[in-house]
Amino acid sequence: MTGWLAIAGLGPGGDGLVTPEVRTALDAASDVVGYIPYVRRVAPRPGLVLHESDNRVEMDRARHALGMAAAGRRVVVVSSGDPGVFAMASAVFEAVEAGPAGWRDLDIRVLPGITAMLAAAARTGAPLGHDFCAINLSDNLKPWALVARRVALAAEGDFAMAFYNPRSRARPEGFGRVLDLLRGLCEPERVVIFARAVTTPDEAIRVVPLAEAREDMADMRTVVLVGSSATRIVAREGGPWVYTPRSVPA
Amino acid sequence: MTGWLAIAGLGPGGDGLVTPEVRTALDAASDVVGYIPYVRRVAPRPGLVLHESDNRVEMDRARHALGMAAAGRRVVVVSSGDPGVFAMASAVFEAVEAGPAGWRDLDIRVLPGITAMLAAAARTGAPLGHDFCAINLSDNLKPWALVARRVALAAEGDFAMAFYNPRSRARPEGFGRVLDLLRGLCEPERVVIFARAVTTPDEAIRVVPLAEAREDMADMRTVVLVGSSATRIVAREGGPWVYTPRSVPA
């Protein structure tokens, strides 16, 4: 039996956003590996072994999955969103690079998914319709100074921004510092979108000007979008549309 | 009959990347509107009217779609990739803002898709696995100075980068200027990925160091990814894996 490894994105939560390619891989798998809440999105069936692991053990999980594929299993590593955006794909290739030479010959595929920022953008209009940056605010994996530097340069370039992992129990204060930094660099009307648990039953969207944005508007399930200076609000019943125009006048 | 408008992303090309949500909208539509090659990806059927339009008429197309939805039709505007990333969603909301007040009450939904940079990243590993920027290199819609400024700031912040629309018949020289700019700011070994027509029969992927990147390696169907200074190459038979590590040491 020839093993393989698929690193698959389950999208933000809704079944309608899981690609057919990912469904096919899950249907063919012998093993599914991932962080507990993501593995629980996969329906159990006879012959499928579900391996749940805790957060922050990405490298152990990657090696486990690679070892099973090398032993002939058909393994799917599941991530929320897209596996290549602040998720498991980087961890798997880091493990490949550091691991046995034979792992480089494994059949490995990355199956993209709908990442949270694009699902959140879709819910509110087109806030990322022009140039934008995606920044992981977690300082577990990088120094705070680098987070701040990238946010400042993104603001200087007038990019729209998407912030992943704005706030967690382990580091609740970082996001407030980012908001303070932005308030020093952008006008008070700058559009900020808090998009929580998009496409799940817990979905909640909030659009506020930067002056009113507070760190407790985000939690671990929130992606935060910040418009560029050109981002527009189209008022209507039931919450505004937000879009960033495609063109910038000369 | 109540009309509606869905702005849908068809993904980069492969059928396995069209979300079930988008399929459902296409199955329920009376009209599909879009740029010729995207509308041709939708299978004709009795009762479905296909409206093909040329490139660069996005605002006309958006108004046409909104007008039909207001008249009770069930309209899908199709984009390649994700409709919110350098595609039709911004044009539609711009038309809503400038249009009759009644358009704000229409049932409009944006249905996200797999955008080219994430499909390209998946094919090569995880080059966008850490903070990154997406920049449209077309200067049809913004001044060249702004393109250059954003590329320079993204390099200064050591973001990975994804370039959309690197090169077209109308402005073949812009991408060469971006490569020259990057050569002045980044080391010669910086990883550059040319990903053409990903997930289609014409797919071609090329990974080169910045020193060897040439403007004629990109065409209108190419998305270009540039790694950060931390991006790694994992050599193997059949083309390397490329990934950007999740962590940056302090």
Summarised one tens digit per residue, pLDDT across range A199-211 is 999 999 999 999 9
The DSSP call for residue A246 is S
Token pair listed for B9 = 């992303």
pLDDT in tens, A74-91: 999 999 999 999 999 999
Q: Which of B113, B121, B146 sits opposite A248 (nearest CB)?
A: B146
Give me the residues of B, 69-128, that contact A with CB < 8 A: 82-87, 89-94, 96-97, 104-105, 108-115, 118-119, 121-123, 125-128
Cα A14 from Cα A22, distance rounded (Å): 14
Q: In what order do the strands lie in the sheet with B108-111?
A: B49-53, B31-35, B74-79, B4-9, B108-111
Nearest CA to A65 among A37, A14, A99, A40? Answer: A99
Q: Could you give the domains of chain A?
A: 4-114 (3.40.1010.10), 117-243 (3.30.950.10)
Query: Nearest Cβ partner of A153 from B18, B113, B156?
Result: B156
Handedness of CA A230, A236, A241, A246 (dihedral sign): negative
- pLDDT, residue A247, reads 86
Torsion over CA of B151, B13, B239 and A28, rounded to 10 degrees?
A: 130
User: How far is Cα B204 from Cα B196, in angstroms, rounded to an integer?
Assistant: 5
- pLDDT band with cut points at 50, 70 and 90 for residue A170: low
For residue A220, pLDDT over 80 is answered with yes
Residues of A in contact with B226 (CB under 8 A): none
Cross-chain Cβ contact B105/A243 below 8 Å: no
Partner-chain contact A85 B58, CB within 8 Å = no
Q: In terms of C-beta distances under 8 Å and separation of at least 24 residues, what long-range contacts does A48-57 make, across chains too?
A: A56/A140
Please tell me the predicted confidence (pLDDT) of residue A1.
62
Q: B90 and A126: CB-CB below 8 Å?
A: yes
Q: List all residues 6 or more positions away from B216 whose beta carbon is below 8 Å from its beta carbon.
A: none
Confidence class for position A105, pLDDT limits 50, 70, 90? very high
Q: How far apart are CA B186 and CA A230, in angstroms?
A: 29
CB-closest option in A21, A93, A156 to B125: A93
Q: Order across the sheet with A4-9: list the strands.
A: A49-53, A31-35, A74-79, A4-9, A107-111
What's the whole-number average pLDDT of chain A?
A: 95
Give B77→chain A minimum CA distance, Å.
14
Give the mutation candidate from B82, B109, B131 for the A interface (greatest A CB count, under 10 A). Answer: B131
pLDDT band at residue A173, thresholds of 50, 70 and 90?
confident
For the record, the structure tokens of A38 come out as 């993501």
The span from the CA of A188 to the CA of A183, in Å, is: 7
pLDDT of residue A142: 84
- Do B175 and B167 form a contact (C-beta atoms < 8 A)? yes
Decide: helix, strand or coil at residue B60: helix
* Amino acid at the residue B75: V
Mutation site, A7, A77, A93, interface B, largest B CB count within 10 A: A93
Render pLDDT for B45-58 as a digit per residue (tens, 0 to 9): 999 999 999 887 89
Rounded distance, CA A153 to CA B132, Å?
Answer: 12
Taking the C-alpha atoms of residue A83 and residue B186, their distance in angstroms, rounded to an integer, is 27
Tokens of B199: 């997930």
Q: How far is CA A65 from CA A2, A11, A90, A159, A221, in A?
A: 14, 20, 14, 37, 26
Interface touch B84/A21, C-beta < 8 Å: no
User: Is the pLDDT score of A34 beyond 80?
Assistant: yes
CB pairs under 8 A between A and B: 239
pLDDT of residue B1: 62
- On whether any CB of chain A is under 8 Å from the CB of B166, the answer is no
Contact B157 A153 (CB under 8 A): yes
Q: What is the pLDDT along chain B (250 residues), one digit of tens a residue?
A: 699 999 999 999 999 999 999 999 999 999 999 999 999 999 999 999 999 998 878 999 999 999 999 999 999 999 999 999 999 999 999 999 999 999 999 999 999 999 999 999 999 999 999 999 999 998 777 888 999 999 999 999 999 999 999 986 667 788 999 999 999 999 999 999 999 999 999 999 999 999 999 999 999 999 999 999 999 999 998 899 999 999 887 7
Q: Which residues pair with A111 in a beta bridge?
A: A8
Residue A93 backbone dihedrals phi, psi, to 5 degrees: -70, -30
